[in-house]
Amino acid sequence: MIDVPQSMFDVFALALPAGLAFGSNTPVGAWRSDDGVSCGALTRNDTDGTYGVLVMRRRVDDVWAVLRRDGGIKSKDEAMRILESFVKSAAPPEPMPPGVPRRRSLADLQGKEPSKIFQHLASPTHHIALWLLNQIYLAMPNPDDN
């Protein structure tokens, strides 16, 4: 597992139903698999001191899907064992849920002519900004084509 900086985990967590609202279960560490398909976070309950885990895996369209979210784990070691069992490379992306349309990447223009601003974002010097915008787009529950 590779450490994920808090700022990057916050971007991934935008895909959660409540976004960054973790309540009393504060994230205290996050990791991803070598291939970037899986991500997990260790949480700690501010009230009773127990640990929790949040495990997400990319779907085939790169949207994050929650695989496991548990709390009330007594020891940090036990929570880390759970994370390590899920956050590993070579795990396939999750399939699309039935009836859910496949999300396309922002870079998939489908033959449309991009605006000058988008062309600028797509340049190699701005690839991080485009990646961030794509992550926010993928986290939206129901974006339209605009």
Is the pLDDT confidence value at 77 over 90?
yes
Flag whether pLDDT at 99 surpasses 80.
yes
The reported pLDDT for the residue numbered 76 is 95
For 118, the 3-state DSSP assignment is helix
- pLDDT number for residue 8: 87
pLDDT band at 146 (very low <50, low <70, confident <90, very high): low
Task: Provide the pLDDT for residue 49.
Answer: 93
pLDDT digits (tens, 9 = 90+) for 49-65: 999 999 999 999 888 88
Alpha-carbon distances, residue 28 vs 4, 8, 17, 138 (angstroms) = 11, 13, 20, 24
Contacts (Cβ under 8 Å, ≥6 apart) of 9:
27, 30, 39, 41
Half-sphere exposure of 8 (CA within 13 A, CB side): 14
Instruction: State how far the Cα of 63 lies from the Cα of 103, in Å rounded to an integer.
Output: 7
Q: In the chain, where are the structural domains located?
A: 2-86, 104-146
| pTM of model > 0.75 | yes
Tens of pLDDT, residue by residue over 16-28, are 888 888 889 999 9
**Residue-averaged pLDDT of the chain:** 85
Residue 44 belongs to what H/E stretch?
A: strand 38-45
- State the pairing for strand pair 38-45/25-32: antiparallel
Q: Please say whether the beta carbons of 30 and 39 come within 8 A.
A: yes
pLDDT, position 145: 63
Average pLDDT over residues 68-72: 91
Q: Strand locations in 46-126, DSSP E?
A: 51-58, 64-73
Of residues 108 and 2, the one with the higher pLDDT is: 2
